[in-house]
Structure 1
Amino acid sequence: MPAPILVTGAAGFIGHAVAHRLLARGEHVIGVDIVNDYYDPALKEARLATFAGINSFAFERIDIADAAQMAALVRDNNIVRVVHLAAQAGVRYSIENPFAYERSNLAGHLSVMEACRHAEGFEHLVYASSSSVYGDKPMGGEGFKEDEPANDPVSLYAATKRACELMSQSYAKLYGFPQTGLRFFTVYGPWGRPDMAYFSFTQKILKGEAIEVYGDGKMARDFTYIDDIVDGIIGALDNPPARGEHRVLNIGDSHPVGLMEMIETLEKAIGHEAVKVMRPMQPGDVTATYADVSKLHALTGYKPKVMLAEGLEKFAAWYREYYRVAP
């Protein structure tokens, strides 16, 4: 039997979806998550409940920053492939609670790498980075490219993600195990994170509350549907770089959408118009994100399939079912 794949952040939005896709193709998966209260733990527990009865899935409630526990888990299960998605997310929260990012993103990433480097025959570590590492720049005709400088983060969250990339670069050279960092661009969809704009907007619109539109609505994001993200993650996992190599790859939709257009599309999906309150940019936010995904496409054939209108309709249907909201 092949060794199980370790998925950290398995109770999280992306980790939950990746674990299910791996299970669907016949892999054995060990999921790890601390299930903290950054957002509603009940949603995380509900995601975990979807694995009930799947014998090829095991779950460990572990803090990834606990290096001894992570090392034992990898060693005792002969793990040679890891998809590391656990992290403290959120740009604005990094201003309020910076030490959460130190532990989860920095100590946690180091803990995972240490476990991998001691594993016999280790094959590939794929980990989550972020489009926020690019900082803020004007929208141009081309998307952000991986070889652009990433030296001017505008949030602590972005700084920790860039630090993880540099840590991985050093570990790949020092210890020879292949690593891939994926710079995610605004992931959305069913089972998503309540702190994301499309999710919180849906909650407020359905309650008849006003939504706050930051950046005076002039921001744009490269919204990427969860199924497309999972395609790219698993494609990258299956195509590791050579031993001793570390690479970073963009993973996004490559079609940035303005914030006001997203809101209009969401209004149609849920059948209600939003009451909008315009606000200036928040500290740590960037004006626009736009992924050039040509490297990931060349490696895996990655090509996003779900456009925003379809994706938000699927999210709205899930939201109504999960929260028992009448049409």
Structure 2
Amino acid sequence: MDAKNRNKLLQYGRELLELELHEAQKLPNRLGDDFVKACELILAIKGKVIVSGIGKSGHIGKKIAASLASTGTPSFFMHPSEALHGDLGMVTANDIVILISYSGRAKEFNLILPLLKEMKVPVIAITGGINSPLASAADSVLDISVEKEACPMGLAPTSSSTNTLLMGDALAIALMRIKEFKEEDFARSHPAGSLGAKLLNHVKDVMRTGTIVPRINHDATVFDAMLELSRTGLGLVAVCDLSDSIIGVFTDGDLRRLLLNNGTLQDSIIQVMTKPGYRLPEEWKAIEALKSFNDHNITAAPVVNNEGKLVGALNIHDLHQAGIY
């Protein structure tokens, strides 16, 4: 491609962004009583928020429904055409419906609105047609009108689609903040993400258990501890009494220091172990364990239950493999 056309592409892209940003900058001043009323209506319902729109409005509507659902406001998307062929049965008197149409004259809504009114279901309109049938029938109207679409023919929804998306985000986040929705709440709807791994997993969920937990009895020798260190490769061994309570910890570092100080492999582990030794509670969150590792400059620790008995072991690599950084 020659330089002239390359410059044209950059120009076209920049013009679109400038036009959309110009239209979007008008939205904050439009938020007023209707925005507050929309939030109050949603906060008051006992059911779900149902978002509906067709065409580009439908695609944006799916995103708005997803944003609401993931930030503490139960919501789902309903296609207008499917609503007219059975899906309207999803709507109950406990719900609220957000209808999205830039013109406010979508034919499907002309059939849906009377049914919603009959059910006494509140309606929030996101529209640029503030004098449209949709706006007239709605309990709250969120104005996303634009003076000019960024499409040079004024046909493809561009500035108006951006405004719709922004208005939906404003609604979702305003509700999220007024509910004091926290990271832990967000993680519950995103359990597979990195945030979910950090906030939902506990030490007991990611620790090593069974025969791969390094353990020796209190009457063992350093040689026994060295064999256990080699077998498990965790870098430490928990020293336990007959009831499985930890009385100390012996690490790779302890072994090196012992040998440098002319100790022998036949020495009693009781004499050379670290007392009482660091250990992690199994009920701690995994992210707390990671912070503790960093604070104490260690990479592994045995895990104990509420009675102080050995139940597992954990190292920093186990945390990383679980997506906790």
TM-score by length of 1: 0.24
If asked which structure has higher relative contact order (CA below 8 Å, sep 6+), I would say 1
Where is the helix percentage greater, Structure 1 or Structure 2? 2
